Amino acid sequence: MHIETLKVFCDVVETGSFSVAASQNFITQSAVSQQLRALEAKYRCKLLERSRGGAKPTPQGAILYRTSREIIDRFQDVEAELQHSCAVVGGHLRLAIVYSVGLHELPPYMKEYLRNFPEVNVHVEYSRPNKIYENVIAQQIDVGIVAYPQKHPQIVITPLREDHLVLACPPDHPLAAAKKIPVSRLDGETMIGYERDIATRKATDQMLRNHHVTVHYAAEYDNIETIKRAVEIGQGIGIVPLPAIKHEVENGLLKVVRLSDETLLRPLGIIHKRGRHLSPAAEKFIEILKREDLE
User: Has residue 278 got a pLDDT over 90?
Assistant: no
Q: Are 91 and 19 in contact (CB under 8 A)?
A: no
Q: What is the pLDDT of residue 177?
A: 92
Provide mean pLDDT across the span 234-250.
95
Q: What is the pLDDT of residue 83?
A: 66
* pLDDT tens track for 186-204: 999 999 999 999 999 999 9
Q: Is 168 part of a structural domain of the chain?
A: yes
Q: Is 291 part of a structural domain of the chain?
A: no
228 residue type, one letter: K
Poorest-pLDDT segment among 24-38, 141-155, 228-242, 257-271: 24-38
* pLDDT tens track for 114-171: 999 998 989 999 998 999 999 898 888 999 999 999 999 999 999 999 999 999 999 9
Alpha carbon 260 to chain centroid distance? 31
User: Has residue 96 got a pLDDT over 80?
Assistant: yes
Q: What is the pLDDT of residue 84?
A: 61
**Percentage, residues of the chain above pLDDT 90:** 58
Q: Is 278 part of a structural domain of the chain?
A: no
Give the domain CATH number at 74: 1.10.10.10
User: Has residue 174 got a pLDDT over 80?
Assistant: yes
Name the band, by pLDDT with cuts 50, 70 and 90, for residue 27: confident
User: Has residue 87 got a pLDDT over 70?
Assistant: no
Residues 170 and 261 in one domain: yes
Name the band, by pLDDT with cuts 50, 70 and 90, for residue 85: low
Q: Is 98 part of a structural domain of the chain?
A: no
What is the pTM for the complete model shown? 0.73
Domain boundary, last residue among 41, 57, 88: 88
Bridge partner residues of 48 (DSSP) = 57
Provide mean pLDDT across the span 71-94.
75
Q: Which residue has the higher pLDDT, 279 or 258?
A: 258
Tell me phi and psi for residue 141, to 5 degrees.
Answer: -135, 160
Q: Is 149 part of a structural domain of the chain?
A: no
Residues 168 and 80 in one domain: no
Instruction: Give the separation between CA 26 and CA 273, rounded to whole angstroms.
Output: 22
Instruction: Give the separation between CA 285 and CA 282, rounded to whole angstroms.
Output: 5
The residues near 26 (Cβ < 8 Å, ≥ 6 apart) are: 92, 121, 123
User: Has residue 25 got a pLDDT over 90?
Assistant: no
Domain boundary, last residue among 88, 123, 143: 88
Q: Is 248 part of a structural domain of the chain?
A: yes
User: Has residue 261 got a pLDDT over 70?
Assistant: yes
Domain boundary, last residue among 50, 72, 88: 88
Give the domain CATH number at 171: 3.40.190.10
Q: Is 77 part of a structural domain of the chain?
A: yes
Number of domains in the chain: 2
**Percentage, residues of the chain above pLDDT 70:** 97
Name the band, by pLDDT with cuts 50, 70 and 90, for residue 293: confident
Name the band, by pLDDT with cuts 50, 70 and 90, for residue 24: confident
Average pLDDT, the chain: 90
Q: Is 8 exposed, middle or buried (0-12, 13-18, 19+ CB in 10 A)?
A: buried
Residue-number span of the structural domain to which 68 is assigned: 1-88
Provide mean pLDDT across the span 19-35.
85
Poorest-pLDDT segment among 4-8, 112-116, 172-176: 4-8
Provide mean pLDDT across the span 45-70.
88
Tell me phi and psi for residue 109, to 5 degrees.
Answer: -70, -40
Provide mean pLDDT across the span 5-28.
86
